[in-house]
Structure 1
Amino acid sequence: MAKTVLPLTDTKIKSAISQQKKVLEKNIKLSDGDGLYLLLDKKGGTYWRLDYVRPISKKRSTLALGVYPEVTLADARVKRAELRKLIAQNIDPGEIKIKEKERALFVADNTFKFIAEEFRKTEELEPSTQKRNAFVWEKLYLSIGDYPISEITAAQILDACRLYEKQGKTDSARRMRSKASQVYRYAIALGLCQFNIADQISGILKTGTKTHRAAITDSEKLGQLLTNIDENFGRGEITVDYAVKILPHVFVRPGELRSAKWADIDFEKRLWSYTPPKTKNQTALQHIVPLSNQVYGLLKELYRITGNSEYCFVSMRNSNQVISDSTINKRLKQYGFENGETTGHGFRATARTLLDEVLKFPIERIEQQLAHQVRDMHGRAYNRTKYLEERIVMMQVWSDYLDKLKIRVC
């Protein structure tokens, strides 16, 4: 005959606790029936426990239900009823508890900052771009970095971005949202969350007044700049001088010119072929720059200086590095043009404007030579080698035009 267990009462519990405090020799179990009991340990602790048989393995196990009196007798009985109901359905509450603990640890480990740091390892960016992005990451980490990525709300990201929007830093705010969105796309791919909540605030942030990079589009001023470059050639670091002299002719991004490698330059075919870092992840297509007679001659001269190095524009101060990202703009300022009047990147806008408006070349060929995403009438992306012969002619005409501008102002 099964042993009859009398239900507990608060009076009985308090009396037992009082006696236990006097003795403190051994643990005492106060049973309430159906596996529920209050454990009074010899250190003075009072813990609810539930003994049960696991549905699958049929092994005995024990669950902790909380501490008395924070968990009252009535609370403990409600928990017992809930757990017994699960057991009756062949569901092991112990397994549920283990999974809940694992989930809690998983969420705690996968903070926005942790996932963002993993994502940043996958980015292939120029050092200058990484440096520019650093403050964006810092601001995101300050606002939401320590929160589990799956528990952050769109409102939290919006609030973080608007802190800088209110200061008039609209570009910073929009870049913060963009970077957060990239992290969420990465997290979704890893199965860490289901929704890109950063995309939910797209379009809400203000758009600041767009300012284009400074560029000279007046032919007389451009001729004066080119003349100044020639007159000052050889007075500074020689590789910087060659970079500034070549850049107007090829109008690539300054970072792409600075990192040019001799292995990518084919002197026989007079072509420079490389994959622009900005489009590497999207297309992985090579960009081809035809070398005009002027550029060919300058590179031949430079090869005699840095031909033993991997990079064309290696730093004369440190043979393991290329010239820095600020040297070109600094040199332009030394040639008589103040900050903001022109930049290395501005030569791209200069070439685009004058090749179109003055030399009348098709805008599609110009855009293609700028390594922009150009599509044909059917919406297909142009192959980088398509219309190469036309672009070879265009690049030579452009170099000849630049030389004529210098003659005009001499």
Structure 2
Amino acid sequence: MPLTDIKIRQAKASERPLKLSDGNGLYLEVKPNGSKLWRYRYRIDGKENLFALGDYPTITLSEARKVRDDARELIKKGQHPAHDRQNGRRQTIASNRDTFKAIAQEWIEKKRGGWTPYYLLQIERGMKTDIYPRIGRLPIRAVTSADVLAILDRASKRGAETVALNLRQWCSAVFRYAVATLRADLDPAAPLRGAVIRPPVEHSKPLSREDIADLQKRLAVYGGHRTTIIAVRLLLLTFVRTTEVRHAEWADFHLEEAEWRIPAERMKMRRMHIVPLARQTIEALRELKAVTGDGRCLFPNTRRPHDVMSGTTVNRALSIMGFAVGEVSGHDFRATASTRLHEMGYRSEIIELQLAHTERNRVKAAYNHADYLAERRQMMQAWADWLDGVVSDKGPLL
């Protein structure tokens, strides 16, 4: 007769093991020490085998029957239930090892060679600040769309919608990498496209002649670090991106040839960029070299010698000078130079090339930097002279 819970509880230990049958190969073995163990006896290829299910009452009667029934289905397919359980344990161990953080770090290592240092820093900061604390320890197969959405919502609620969009993109890339390496089955971040509304783009604004004059006058009396003043001055003179100034290295400068050659890996568009240096720019660099020339970087971090100037330093200096938040930013200098140089009559392709913008026209993109270098040298010197003329109220009134 099939077993009952009452019969199992009342079963007493004896000097010999006692077997209580439940049917279809399942029985309970009562050991002389009083322990009660579930066993399932079955045959494959005519050979008798024994499958240990676990102990009672950890595994109840109904649970033992469920395990037996599942095992019978495996046996019909010629599979040993013990082997299936071992495979399940191995998969669990592998799943616990393949956490989101472990796979994300592996993905970063494989991809970092194709990223700029600034983009790599963005990803690592986003992972450390927003992603790892929420899902880093979870097996990647256990992460759900709801888990990722919670991360995006937290970023959006603090007003960082653009960060939230990047976080979704980076999570999605990690999941796709896990799928490609057979450690995940799907990308739970994919359905979340559109979950965060992209904020309106605030385009950089060109500064007027009066704005530039006012900025340079405030810069002349700024009481902060001299290196910060030179950093702002270089942004004005070269109109490169702020990150390109911050990460600039002395090895990239060739003062005798009046050139700054920015390596491709530090450029947003992943192409080597030549910045012709005006006379005023070289003067600023020679002054800076007396301060930081013994190191690798033009603008080392004052608190972390092996790092570069903080990304907030320039805008913070502008704030200390009295500019309201958002009134003037380092990126506005690029828009200013573009507008004024067009007004001065320089060709669009020369200006765009000096701004290191992506050229959608492949024919134009094929031109070598050196093809226009002489014209760009003249333009950069004219721009530096115009900046000086603005302060002294001389030069063209653009």
TM-score by length of 1: 0.77
Q: 1:409 deviation in Å?
A: 7.2
- For 1:208 and 1:170, the matched residues in 2 are separated by 7
Show the counterpart of 1:307.
Answer: 293
Show the counterpart of 1:405.
Answer: 390
Q: Is residue 9 from structure 1 mapped to residue 17 from structure 2 by the alignment?
A: no
Tell me whether 72-81 or 259-268 shows the greater mean CA deviation: 72-81
Runs of 5+ consecutive residues of structure 2 not aligned to the other structure: none
Provide the aligned length of Structure 1 versus Structure 2.
389
Deviations 1:8-67 (A, max 9, x none): 5326x965763434x4x5543445687643222345433322345776xx9975423355
Show the counterpart of 1:248.
Answer: 236
**Contact between 1:364 and 1:374, CA under 8 Å: does it hold in 2?**
no
Q: 1:381 deviation in Å?
A: 6.7
Q: Is residue 170 from structure 1 mapped to residue 178 from structure 2 by the alignment?
A: no
Amino acid at match of 2:325: N
Deviations 1:283-342 (A, max 9, x none): 3x3222111222123223333443332222346787655444333233334444343221
- For 1:44 and 1:278, the matched residues in 2 are separated by 72
Show the counterpart of 2:69.
Answer: 78
1:114-129 residue pairs with structure 2 within 5 A? 114-120=102-108, 123=112, 126=117
- For 1:315 and 1:326, the matched residues in 2 are separated by 12
Q: Is residue 392 from structure 1 mapped to residue 381 from structure 2 by the alignment?
A: no
**Percent of residue pairs bearing the same amino acid type:** 32
Deviations 1:79-121 (A, max 9, x none): 453243122xxx3433322222211222233333443344455
Amino acid at match of 2:287: E
Report the aligned-residue RMSD.
3.8
Show the counterpart of 2:207.
Answer: 217
Amino acid at match of 1:290: P
Q: Is residue 184 from structure 1 mapped to residue 175 from structure 2 by the alignment?
A: yes
Amino acid at match of 1:65: L
1:96-135 residue pairs with structure 2 within 5 A? 96-120=84-108, 123=112, 126=117, 130=121, 134=125
Tell me whether 289-298 or 199-208 shows the greater mean CA deviation: 199-208
Runs of 5+ consecutive residues of structure 1 not aligned to the other structure: 1-7
1:192-271 residue pairs with structure 2 within 5 A? 192-212=183-203, 215-229=205-219, 231-232=220-221, 236-271=224-259
Q: 1:218 deviation in Å?
A: 0.6
Show the counterpart of 1:5.
Answer: none
SS at match of 1:341: coil
- For 1:117 and 1:174, the matched residues in 2 are separated by 20
Deviations 1:112-151 (A, max 9, x none): 3443344455546657984797467544345544543224
Show the counterpart of 1:20.
Answer: 12
**Contact between 1:111 and 1:146, CA under 8 Å: does it hold in 2?**
yes
**Contact between 1:375 and 1:381, CA under 8 Å: does it hold in 2?**
no
- For 1:328 and 1:10, the matched residues in 2 are separated by 79
Q: 1:239 deviation in Å?
A: 2.3
- For 1:380 and 1:29, the matched residues in 2 are separated by 84
Deviations 1:157-211 (A, max 9, x none): 3354245546755334323322322322332343322433323322342222333
Q: Is residue 287 from structure 1 mapped to residue 279 from structure 2 by the alignment?
A: no
Amino acid at match of 1:403: D
Q: Is residue 46 from structure 1 mapped to residue 39 from structure 2 by the alignment?
A: no
CA change 1:217–1:238 in 2 (3 A) is: closer
Q: 1:153 deviation in Å?
A: 3.6
TM-score by length of 2: 0.79
Deviations 1:353-396 (A, max 9, x none): 3223x224344433332333223245957655553333323222
